[in-house]
Structure 1
Amino acid sequence: MTKSNVVSGKNQSFYKSYFSMTLVIALQNLVVYSVSLADNVMLGGYSELALSGVALCNQIQYFLQMTVMGIGAAMVVLASQFWGKKDTQSVQKIIAVGFWVAVAVSMLLWCAAFFFPHGCLGLLTDDQEVIREGVKYLKIICFTYVFFGMTNTLLAGLRSVETVRIGFLVSGSTLVINVCLNYLLIYGNFGAPRLGSQGAAIATLTSRIVEFGIICFYLKAVDRKIRFQFRSLFRLDREILKKFLRVGSPVIGGDAMWGIAQGAQTAIIGRLGASAIAANSISTTVIQVLTVIIHGSANATGVMTGKWIGAGKIEELKRYAKRLQLVFLALGLVTGVTLYLVKDFILGFYAITPETKTMAVHFIIILCITTVGTGYQLNVLTGFVRGGGDTTFVLINDSIFMWLIVLPASALAAFVFHASPEVVFLCLKSDQILKCFVALVKVNRWKWIRVLTQ
């Protein structure tokens, strides 16, 4: 076999792994976000007040989601390098550490949401009618937090060893159960009680319990890569814990900070009226669904980056990093165009006022542009840079853009210059374009490559 044939075979193997993993993770994310979209659309058809109330509660869920995603990402950064060395015992130890960190965070958030629901939602808006509607939902949905944390850390452990299809199956079951129960409990169909937002919360809680049961069964009876033993959850390794905290703290802190920042953004939008809250909820939910390929690509890039560093294939990694940057840009462009084409179709499902619909259209058009930047910078910074072990840089970069540029500019636009909601929304999303310049310089200097298994 000639050298060119060997190289060609390696290329095919790399791209096959990258694109297949991206597609499966994207499908999983699509189903996960479709659960929120189902709640969003069904409640939007029930009443705009219910939609606004649940939208505020979802900011608390979003904070949890970002924090748990940070824990999972920290697990992947470490575990994928050990997977590159075929050290599955260390992978099990990392899963145990991440699992209990997620449980602790979930329990703290449950306590805050269950015992102080009015205080939590009062941080996001002054509208008492919206708060009252949101409390009905929050008092139930908070019981999903621990199940969500446990399930997603176990899935992150599997993702670090390139097992991703189970995530799609788990999320698929959640979607089916959630939509069916929403239909029964939100509107009171087939003799069920008409519970509105409370019905949506009960549906989500039921589906979260089921998905946790599925992932436990898979780890016990099906998985053959990790051969996970549940008793290992109760034997924490001190050295792994220290390494996890050292490497993972910037990742977890960065994602948690992002969740807090999104809450701050919602608080700014929340002061602009119920229409702005609803329009922001609609546009944000839609863009989450349509950017699943981008997020799937970032996850796949992080796993493969860690694996290649662990296996010592640094030069091959550099070669593919150069090529994939063009792929990332293309993903952003395609997503932006798709969002523009489907915006009217999606908004047709919502029972909202003309004012809210017009504002939602304007918000979505802004996202069509900023998503191009998301496609590039997210993959580069969280895929290559953070996946390569340079976790602190991403934390510092996100902190500077969010707390020193985006939020101050948005607050000034909203409360000092009294700009329109569209201008405020543009300020809130501007970092997606600005980060591209930092990402371009950082990734091509290669100083983000760190070996963490020594």
Structure 2
Amino acid sequence: MPTLVLQQFNRGFFRSLFWIALPIALQSMLFSSRSLVDIMMLGQLGNVEVAAAGIAGKAFFVALVMLFGVSTGGAMLAAQYWGANNKQGLREATALTVMISGGFASLTAALFLFIPEAIMRFATQSLDVIALGSDYLQIIAFNLLGAAFVISMAVGLRAMHQPGVSTLFSGIGIVANMFLNWILIFGKFGFPEMGIKGAAWATLLSGAIELVLLGSYLYGRNHLLAFNFSTIKSVCNQKDIFRFLKLSLPITFNHLAWAGGIFVYHAIIGQLGVNGLAAISVITPIESLSLAMLIGISSASAVFIGNLLGANKNDEAYLKAWAFTLVNLVCALATVLLMFVIKQPLLSLFSGLTPDVRNLTDHFFDIFAIVLVLKSIPIVMIVGVLRAGGDIKFCFYQDIIAQWVIGIPVTAFCAFVLHWPIEWVYALLGLEELVKWFASSFRVYSRRWINNLVA
């Protein structure tokens, strides 16, 4: 089999991978850079602002992960519809994704608006951090509604091998975010100096700009995905909604369980002190940025494998799964080398951190670089391979066991009972990745994930 896997590496494979994975990776980098820009600019103000933005940003991240989970059901259907050359099916799957994602976004936005203090208090007891983070959450709550549309449309565009469209408008959004951050955080051009509230308003306004531009492009060009009321009416039936929810809800719960676990890890570090909370708040957007290319390759593999499964090319899909896994591992090693090259210049941008926090952030950076290699295998197998074949129950159970049964209890025990140093506690975040490394590999090898969802 190794020879057959290596035979997948031809010019056509890498050319197709490049044109799909790169725009997705760029979009992920742009998305991550929004948080990084917020943290960098707020890092010039002090530790409390960084900690508040870190917790609120992590809560917003959990909400976005939920939306990605909801949209993944649509992504599986869209990729296989496109592989089966069913354009109407793709259009309807995208419309249904927008509708259901919008409903979930509305519920989450209500939580951010009405109980932000309860969300913040879960991760910290600092009253200053809670107050600042609550203001941030209430402002960016409305951004979830636009995000539901943008994420859903990106799913359809990705299935059509047109990820560059959504990437372009994400790029415009991040440029707007950086400019608005500079104006509103520090009070330029006559605006008041708003601090963390300015960062929240910049995020909201730049998201609105991205939403308007993407919608104008799709409907102005009468794009295939520019669905209308008749499309919505056609998918509002029990059969389509039930099939969508049957795929999406387990993935959504899986995403929520995973993202909620990440928030719990963040809270464990936060309960050990504001310094640890500030350090992990700095590392989190750097982590997301470092994972961008791995996410791009994983998402591209989901499109390729979904297309192959929809066309009933099961043997080729199996070989491609291992080929993408190998590519992701090599990419992770290259990313780690790059991280160490830019480490000092990057961390020096956070000029407002105290020496203790700066030193702790330095240690966290080194630890995450090692964990990144561990993440490379599970991420492509779960996001790209297993879910492309609809093997969602295995992914859900694996995440629950690896994170909530093993990772979180061990981390909490070592932090609060054994009183390990905070760097060691942070290193335990890689334990669940090690569990997933072996479990996912055995699952892919078994071929039990190979299913045609649109036959």
Query: What's the TM-score, normalizing by structure 2?
Result: 0.94
Query: 1:385-426, CA deviations, whole angstroms, 9 ceiling, x for partnerless residues?
Result: 111221111111011001001100111011111111111111
1:442 maps to 443
The answer to whether the 8 A contact 1:303-1:387 is kept is yes
The answer to whether the 8 A contact 2:336-2:369 is kept is yes
Aligned partner letter, 1:397: Q
Give unmatched runs, 5+ long, in structure 2.
1-5
Q: 1:95 to 1:342 in 2, by over 3 A?
A: same
Aligned partner letter, 1:98: T
The answer to whether the 8 A contact 1:93-1:240 is kept is no
The 5-angstrom pairing of residues 262-281 of structure 1 reads 262-281=262-281
1:433 Cα offset (Å): 2.6
Partners of 1:314 and 1:157 lie apart in 2 by 23
Partners of 1:441 and 1:337 lie apart in 2 by 29
Query: 1:10-30, CA deviations, whole angstroms, 9 ceiling, x for partnerless residues?
Result: 943333212221111101111
1:145 maps to 144
The 5-angstrom pairing of residues 175-194 of structure 1 reads 175-194=174-193
The 5-angstrom pairing of residues 358-437 of structure 1 reads 358-437=359-438
The answer to whether the 8 A contact 1:75-1:160 is kept is no
2:3 maps to none
The answer to whether the 8 A contact 2:95-2:227 is kept is no
1:231 Cα offset (Å): 4.6
Partners of 2:217 and 2:434 lie apart in 1 by 40
The 5-angstrom pairing of residues 16-35 of structure 1 reads 16-35=15-34
The 5-angstrom pairing of residues 34-49 of structure 1 reads 34-49=33-48
2:128 maps to 129
Range with greater deviation from structure 2 (73-82 or 292-301)? 73-82
Partners of 1:332 and 1:100 lie apart in 2 by 36
Partners of 2:396 and 2:216 lie apart in 1 by 35
1:285 Cα offset (Å): 0.9
Partners of 2:229 and 2:33 lie apart in 1 by 30
2:116 maps to 117
Confirm whether residue 333 of structure 1 aligns to residue 328 of structure 2.
no
The answer to whether the 8 A contact 1:41-1:349 is kept is yes
Aligned partner letter, 1:228: F
1:98 Cα offset (Å): 1.6
1:65 maps to 64
Partners of 1:333 and 1:231 lie apart in 2 by 49
The 5-angstrom pairing of residues 244-259 of structure 1 reads 244-259=244-259
The answer to whether the 8 A contact 1:310-1:451 is kept is yes
2:12 maps to 13
Query: 1:214-239, CA deviations, whole angstroms, 9 ceiling, x for partnerless residues?
Result: 22122212364546335523542432
Q: 1:20 to 1:119 in 2, by over 3 A?
A: same
1:173 Cα offset (Å): 1.1
The answer to whether the 8 A contact 1:332-1:376 is kept is no
1:136 Cα offset (Å): 2.1
Partners of 1:98 and 1:156 lie apart in 2 by 9
Q: 1:273 to 1:223 in 2, by over 3 A?
A: farther
The 5-angstrom pairing of residues 218-237 of structure 1 reads 218-222=217-221, 224-226=223-225, 228-229=227-228, 231-235=230-234, 236-237=236-237
Aligned partner letter, 2:359: T
The answer to whether the 8 A contact 2:102-2:148 is kept is yes
1:310 maps to 310
Query: 1:242-268, CA deviations, whole angstroms, 9 ceiling, x for partnerless residues?
Result: 111112222111111112111111111
Aligned partner letter, 1:444: Y
Query: 1:177-233, CA deviations, whole angstroms, 9 ceiling, x for partnerless residues?
Result: 111111111011222110000111111111111111122122212364546335523
Partner-residue secondary structure (3-state), 2:433:
helix
Query: 1:315-342, CA deviations, whole angstroms, 9 ceiling, x for partnerless residues?
Result: 2222322333221211121122222222
Partner-residue secondary structure (3-state), 1:402:
helix
1:428 Cα offset (Å): 2.0
1:72 Cα offset (Å): 2.1
The answer to whether the 8 A contact 1:370-1:433 is kept is no
Partners of 2:47 and 2:28 lie apart in 1 by 26
Aligned partner letter, 1:158: L
1:9 Cα offset (Å): 11
The answer to whether the 8 A contact 2:290-2:335 is kept is yes
Aligned partner letter, 1:424: V
Number of aligned residues: 448
Identity among equivalent positions (%) equals 28
Give unmatched runs, 5+ long, in structure 1.
1-6
Q: 1:104 to 1:321 in 2, by over 3 A?
A: same
Partners of 2:67 and 2:109 lie apart in 1 by 14
1:144 Cα offset (Å): 1.1
Aligned partner letter, 1:340: F
Range with greater deviation from structure 2 (272-281 or 222-231)? 222-231
The answer to whether the 8 A contact 2:30-2:171 is kept is yes
Aligned partner letter, 1:105: F
Query: 1:369-397, CA deviations, whole angstroms, 9 ceiling, x for partnerless residues?
Result: 11011111110122111112211111110
1:323 maps to 323
Partners of 1:357 and 1:280 lie apart in 2 by 11
Partners of 1:134 and 1:117 lie apart in 2 by 8
1:448 Cα offset (Å): 0.6
Query: 1:108-144, CA deviations, whole angstroms, 9 ceiling, x for partnerless residues?
Result: 1111111112112111211111111112212211121
Partners of 1:371 and 1:55 lie apart in 2 by 20
Query: 1:142-195, CA deviations, whole angstroms, 9 ceiling, x for partnerless residues?
Result: 121111122111211221222100121111111111111111110112221100
Q: 1:11 to 1:228 in 2, by over 3 A?
A: farther
Aligned partner letter, 2:257: M
Query: 1:289-317, CA deviations, whole angstroms, 9 ceiling, x for partnerless residues?
Result: 11110000110011111111111212222
Partners of 2:8 and 2:261 lie apart in 1 by 44
2:202 maps to 203
Partners of 1:211 and 1:445 lie apart in 2 by 42
1:48 Cα offset (Å): 1.9
2:211 maps to 212
Partner-residue secondary structure (3-state), 1:180:
helix
The answer to whether the 8 A contact 1:46-1:187 is kept is no
1:286 maps to 286
Partner-residue secondary structure (3-state), 1:329:
helix
The answer to whether the 8 A contact 2:8-2:319 is kept is no
CA root-mean-square deviation: 1.8
Partners of 2:287 and 2:219 lie apart in 1 by 36
Partners of 1:230 and 1:177 lie apart in 2 by 32
Aligned partner letter, 1:305: I
1:73 Cα offset (Å): 1.9
